[in-house]
Amino acid sequence: MTNRPAGRAGSVAGPLSRTRRRLLQAACAPLLLGGMAALPATGLAANERRKPVVTPGKTWLEVSLNGPWSRDRQPGIPIAVKDIIAEGIACARAGAAIVHVHAYDEKTGRQKDDADLYAAIIEGIRAKEDVVVYPTLPFAGSVDAPNMMSAQERFTHTETLAKRGLLEWTVVDPGSTNITRLDEIAAGKQGFVYANPESHIRLGLELCSRYRIHPGYALYEPGFVRLGAALERAYPQVPQCIYRFMFSDGLSFGFPPRPYALDAFLQLLADEAPHAPWMIAGLDVNITPLMAYAAERGGHIRVGLEDAPFGATKTNVQLVEEGVAVIRSVGKEPASIKEIRQALARA
C-alpha cells in the first residue's frame, strides 16, 4: 500500500479542519451568547428543572362524581347542576380536596360539555369549599361524541373556563385506546376507540402552558406514560402534570387493579417522569384493594361513582369516607388543598 504524498495530505486536511471549526463555532454560538437556556429542551434538562412533588405524611384524595355513563350504567350519579354542586360540597367536607365533574344536559341525561354549565358547577362548589374543581373533555368515540371532533372543538369549553380564571387543573389524556365491556364481547357488542390524537394532546398542553393550568393525565395504557412524559418534556413551560394510572375490572383497557400492575406503572414512571405526582383511579373498577398499597408507596387516590363498578350502590360521600379510612389505616392523613397547591408550586 503506497503512502499519499505529504503535500496532498496537507491540502485535503486543511479545508476539512476549517470546515469542522466553522461547524463547531456555529454549534457553540448559542451557548456563548445565551447560555444553556438557548438550547432546545431535552428530556434530561426538562426533568432536571422539575422537583419532586411531595406532601410528606399526606395523601391526596380526589372524587370523580359522575363520569360519562348516564344513569343507565351508574344509577346513583348526580346529573342536575344543583345535585352535582351539593355532592361536591359534601365530598369536600368528607375529605376530598379535588373534585372532578362531567356536566350533563338535564333533559336528555347525557354528557354536555358546556362552559356555562361547568362554570355554574365550579363556582357553586367553590362558593362553599376551597377545593380544586375541574371538568372533563368530550369522551371522543363514545355515544356522546361519536364523530371525530377537532382539537379546538374538544377544548373550547376548557379555554373558555381558563379565560374566566376558573381552572387550576384540566384533563389532557395522552393516548388512545379501545374501551369495550369484557362481559359483552361474547354477545358481539362492540365498544369504541377513545381517541386522543397527538394534535389534541398538544393543544391541551399549549392551553395549560398559556393559562397556567395543571394537566391531569389519565393513563389507560403504559404507552400513555411514555407519550405523556415526552410531551411534558417538549413543553417545558407547562405546569406540573398529574399522572393518574387507570385500572379496570370490567373494561378492556390497560391493567386490572393488582399490585403487579401498579409496580409496572411505577417502574415506567421512574424512567420517564420520576418527579411526577401520581394517583390510582379507573373505570368500572373496585380500586379499594389497591388503595393502601398505593398510599404506602407515596401515591394518591381517586374514588367516586365515575370509577366505581357499574351499578354501584354506595354514594360518592361513602366512597370518599372509605378512602379517608384507608389513608388513615396506613398512618397518613388526607392532604388539604393548601398542602397540594404548595407542593405543586414548589415543583
| Residue 115 amino acid letter | A
pLDDT of 310 > 60? The answer is yes
List pLDDT tens digits, range 138-160. Answer: 986 565 556 678 999 999 999 99
| pLDDT tens readout for residues 26-43 | 444 433 333 333 333 444
pLDDT at 14: 40
pTM of this structure: 0.85
Reply yes or no on whether the pLDDT at 243 is more than 60. Answer: yes
Q: What is the pLDDT of residue 44?
A: 46
Spatial CA neighbour of 295 closest among 60, 94, 53, 54: 60
Pairing of strands 242-247, 214-219: parallel
- Given this model, what pLDDT does residue 51 score? 86
Query: pLDDT digits over 83-133, tens only?
Result: 999 999 999 999 999 999 999 999 999 999 999 999 999 999 999 999 999
Residue 50 confidence (pLDDT) = 79
Residue 334 and residue 341: Cα distance in Å, rounded? 14
User: Residues 294-300: what's their mean pLDDT?
Assistant: 98
Residue pair 131/99 in contact by the 8 Å Cβ criterion: yes
Span 216-237, pLDDT tens digits:
999 999 999 999 999 999 999 9
pLDDT level of residue 4 (50, 70, 90 thresholds):
very low
Length of the chain: 347
**Model pLDDT, residue 49:** 65
C-alpha closest to that of 336 among 48, 142, 143, 93: 93
Residue 304 near residue 319 (C-beta atoms within 8 A): yes
With a CB cutoff of 8 Å and minimum separation 6, the contacts of 337 are 97, 98, 130, 131, 132
The angle at the Cα of 221, spanning 324 to 192, to the nearest 5 degrees, equals 105
